Structure 1
Amino acid sequence: MSSSIETVIVLGGSGNLGTLVVSALVNAGFKVSAAVRQSSTATYPESVTVHKTDYSKDALVSIFQGQDAVVSCIPRTQVADQKTVVDACVSAGVKRFLPSEYGGDTTLPDIEKRISFTAGKKEFGEYLVGKESEGLTWTRVFTGPFFDWMLTQSARQFKLDMGVMGWDLEMFKVTIFDSGDQEFSCTNIKTVAEAIASVLKHENATKNQNVYVSSFPRLTQNEVLAALEGLSGRKFEVTQASTEDLAAKGEARIKRGEWVQGYIETVSASCYAPWGYNTFGDRAEQWNAVLELPKEDLEDTLTRVLRMSGTV
């Protein structure tokens, strides 16, 4: 393993994932900077250089000077802004760009017909690949849902009848989609950050690649339910639902302008749906090995999550 990447700047480094990415990069030995909005009050370790920016191309070109890699952790609502970021990377001579993916597989054929909000990411991905001819390399990292993080999210905060991805640990409720036996892939949020750092450590292997990682490449809802009931000593109230029906409901919400609820419902359905949005299997196992990511234990993760949620 060798890499010429030494300096890395993180965009959106104050969010749930971004803060962990900054820490993972620092721990991996990179010289790390963070780009934040002018209004940001985020704090970072002393070793991290902070650049306040309006995200205009000229401003980004200036702060990207001397940076080997740019890692985007900007919110999904700002994905379109990444074209400006990429153009600035090219102008500043940045070697590697990691876009804000970190979710389901947006490269699937016609996925935008199933999940409308993937259209922007797919279009941007094509734009990014086109920049190879101008000297910019890229890596798209697909992780599936942030498993431990999403299990701790309350249904009440999003005004939903069900929990995120179907789980409501506070109320010991779960919505099981279809049979509950279909495999899906997911990644603990800290592992997502560590995978990003490892991508840059494995510069050659990840050059211009779609990288799939997962803490649990082959998991089912029924497996998770059995483990949660065993660890908590509580039976969950189970509701059955259809991925097709919930996806349609979520898309209808998005069209009505109910973005947050529609997004969560559509993503929750797509997590377990047969169209493969979060089914990485062999690909994740292979990339986990390339990136030297440690194997994780489901019960250890769920025990930690139950303690975090105050249910055990």
Structure 2
Amino acid sequence: MNSRHDLTNLRYDRTSTLSTMASQHRPVTNVVVLGSTGHVGIPTVIALSNHPARFTVTAVTRDKSQASFPPNVRVVESDLSRRSLLSLFQDQDAVVSCLATSMVDQQKDIVDIAVECGIARLIPSEYGLDSTHPNAAKFVPITKTKIENLDYIRQFEHRLSWTTLVTGSFFDRQFGDPGWFGWNMAEHQATVFDGGDVEFETTNLSQIGAAIAAILSPEHLDDTANQVVFVNSFTTTQNKVVAALEKITGRKMTIEHETTAAVRECALVAHEEDPTDFGPVADLVTASVYGQGGLNLYSKSAGGLWNDRLGLEREDFIGSIEKALAVYTKPGA
């Protein structure tokens, strides 16, 4: 059972298959979070640890000394090698991958080890645009790897259940990185695309963590099995965000105008010239967040949001921006 080929071609008798299916749907108690110190990893660990009677959480990090989590969280340093993951996944019920997009090509190895260790539920690293949308690979080439990974996971549905989470852009975090999705709060400047009235869905990081905790809860474990789950914090427009920022800060924003079509065209050329440069990739994501390819209103084309089904709390638009500015735009953030 040391290679993907071996795992793919294993044969099971009826008794073994029934036993495996039963174990797939066992309650999730022990949860491993990979990439626990990343943008999604931190709120995920916190959300899970907020339910100590329900979850026992292991946060996996490259550098244990840099991790700061609640005392009820077990923190483990790992190089994410096969040997390390085999040890980490023993006696665990669920694996939540919050690894960065640049590491998403490791996901097939994670699947193999999860299957080998008898993990019941895997949440792969998605947390962005809907990679299952027909236009995803064409408009955001980086989603090709995610599509391939999900296809790979589906081969093991008789042994391992999965849930992917689609969230759109990270609403609160984008205000802390100058240039992300057109926002530059350090200069109080914004690039507004296609007039600024295009609706798009977006999600706060804390909402992503809350959604993951809900997915793994006994109430929702079965109905989220082998499902693409869509959540958001808001459906809004850039002009509404600009108005909110000006109201909160008491300052007019300096606005530059651009089109998503032009951004996409330039980014595609740059990406072809240097596929390793993340800048054009970020521009392609931005163009699709604001409408290119029809990926901006992901839940409307995929059967609707899961917010109410998962019991997620409704969030305050102005309050979310105020909190984001306080957290992510202070010195050192």
Q: Quick check: TM above 0.5?
A: yes
1:40 is displaced (CA, Å) by 4.4
**Cα distance between partner residues in 1 of 2:163 and 2:141:** 23
Contact 2:229 2:305 (8 Å CA) reproduced: no
Any gaps of 5 or more consecutive residues in structure 2? 1-24
- Corresponding residue of 2:66: 42
Q: Cα gap change, 1:211/1:281 in structure 2, threshold over 3 Å: closer, same or farther?
A: closer
Superposed CA offset, 1:244-299 (max 9, x none): 11122223333333623222211111110242223134569630001111111111
- Corresponding residue of 2:169: 145
Which among 156, 179, 186 is matched to residue 170 of structure 1? 186
Superposed CA offset, 1:205-259 (max 9, x none): 211110011010x211111112222222222222111111112222333333362
How many residue pairs get aligned? The number is: 299
Any gaps of 5 or more consecutive residues in structure 1? 155-162
**Cα distance between partner residues in 1 of 2:245 and 2:75:** 41
Which among 317, 322, 325 is matched to residue 298 of structure 1? 317
**Cα distance between partner residues in 2 of 1:108 and 1:173:** 32
Structure 2 matches for 1:72-111, cutoff 5 A?
A: 72-111=97-136
Q: Does 1:186 align with 2:215?
A: no
- Corresponding residue of 1:286: 305
Structure 1 length normalisation: TM-score?
0.89
**Cα distance between partner residues in 2 of 1:242 and 1:117:** 21
- Corresponding residue of 1:13: 36
Superposed CA offset, 1:5-58 (max 9, x none): 111001111223212211111112310112333x54333433222333332334
**Cα distance between partner residues in 2 of 1:276 and 1:170:** 30
Stretch deviating more after TM superposition (258-267 or 64-73): 258-267
Superposed CA offset, 1:96-124 (max 9, x none): 00001011111111421211111111111
**Cα distance between partner residues in 1 of 2:320 and 2:186:** 17
- 2:169 is paired with a residue whose SS is coil
**Cα distance between partner residues in 2 of 1:143 and 1:137:** 20
Contact 1:58 1:88 (8 Å CA) reproduced: no
Equivalent pairs: percent with the same residue? 36
- Corresponding residue of 1:157: none
- Corresponding residue of 1:227: 244
- 2:257 is paired with a residue whose SS is strand
- 1:239 is paired with a residue whose SS is strand
**Cα distance between partner residues in 1 of 2:306 and 2:131:** 17
**Cα distance between partner residues in 2 of 1:121 and 1:208:** 15
Q: Cα gap change, 1:196/1:284 in structure 2, threshold over 3 Å: closer, same or farther?
A: farther
Which among 27, 34, 41 is matched to residue 4 of structure 1? 27
RMSD: 2.1
Partner amino acid for 2:131?
Answer: T
- Corresponding residue of 2:160: 136
Superposed CA offset, 1:109-145 (max 9, x none): 1421211111111111111111103x10000001111
**Cα distance between partner residues in 2 of 1:270 and 1:254:** 15
**Cα distance between partner residues in 2 of 1:122 and 1:285:** 20
**Cα distance between partner residues in 2 of 1:209 and 1:277:** 18
1:3 is displaced (CA, Å) by 7.4
1:165 is displaced (CA, Å) by 0.5
Partner amino acid for 1:300?
Answer: G
**Cα distance between partner residues in 1 of 2:70 and 2:85:** 22
**Cα distance between partner residues in 2 of 1:36 and 1:305:** 25
**Cα distance between partner residues in 1 of 2:140 and 2:83:** 34
